[in-house]
Amino acid sequence: MIDPREPRWALRRELAPCPDVLRIKSETVSDPSMHGIRQGGRAGFTLLELMFAVAVIAILTTLAVGQFSKYVDRARNATAQGDIATMQVEIERYQNRHDGALPDSLSDIGRTAFPDPWQQAYFYTKLAGVNGHGGARKDHKLNPINSDYDLFSAGKNGVFKPQVSQKDSLDDIIRARDGGFIGLAEEF
């Protein structure tokens, strides 16, 4: 009748009144000793399950890398904005000590080998004395964005155009409105 040495699932088959119930009972009752065993008696994952797991991991990694890249870009932009604000203060100090004269270059304020967050030099152009502001950075209407001097970083791509609204200049970190704006050219 009932042998105590037989596993539980075998007892369920014996008590089942008909083959349909036998099939249902044997599928719903699990034997702990059979956990993880597939057809053929092999344990493991199918190729489809492994491919699905790899796809999920790849998607999550892509999202994480994208978010991290955006965070790094924002941090570098903020660093460049802070550097430009600091240099602006140093230029104002220079003006105060030299009767309102602007420095000829960033080396006059001690910023010769001071790279931006993308390891490129900051750009400084003294506009006083430049005829017609020929070397000045300009807005989308071709008006100079500063009247005293231009100070900017070429940004992530390292390329800039005189007009800040052009595609190559949108990632530049600029000083505009004579120091009233320091930020991305795209936001100007």
How far apart CA 173 and CA 185 sit, in angstroms, is 6
What per-residue confidence (pLDDT) applies to 9?
52
Task: Judge if 87 and 15 occupy the same domain.
Answer: no
Residue 181 lies in a domain: yes
Q: Which two tokens stand for residue 156?
A: 């992530």
Q: Is the pTM of this model over 0.95?
A: no
Mean pLDDT of 108-121: 88
pLDDT band at 24 (very low <50, low <70, confident <90, very high): very low
Residue 53 lies in a domain: no
Mean pLDDT of 172-180: 94
Q: Please state, in angstroms and as integers, the Cα–Cα distance from residue 155 to each residue in 9, 61, 70, 173, following that order.
A: 69, 26, 14, 6
Task: Judge if 170 and 109 occupy the same domain.
Answer: yes
Encoded amino acid at 181, one letter = F
Segments forming the whole domain that contains residue 22: 1-33
The edge-to-edge listing of strands for the beta sheet with 181-184 is: 123-126, 149-153, 173-176, 181-184
Residue 59 lies in a domain: no
Q: Where are the alpha helices (DSSP H) in 6-161?
A: 8-15, 19-28, 47-97
Domain count, the chain: 2
Helix (H) or strand (E) holding 181: strand 181-184
Task: Judge if 167 and 98 occupy the same domain.
Answer: yes
Tens-place pLDDT, residues 128-169: 765 655 678 999 898 999 999 999 999 999 999 999 999 999
Nearest to 100 by CA among 71, 142, 128: 128
Task: Judge if 23 and 96 occupy the same domain.
Answer: no
Q: How far apart are the first and last CA of the chain?
A: 88
Task: Judge if 83 and 25 occupy the same domain.
Answer: no
Q: Give yes or no for residue 113 having a pLDDT over 80.
A: no
How far apart CA 32 and CA 34 sit, in angstroms, is 5
Tens-place pLDDT, residues 52-105: 999 999 999 999 988 898 899 999 999 999 999 999 999 999 999 999 999 998
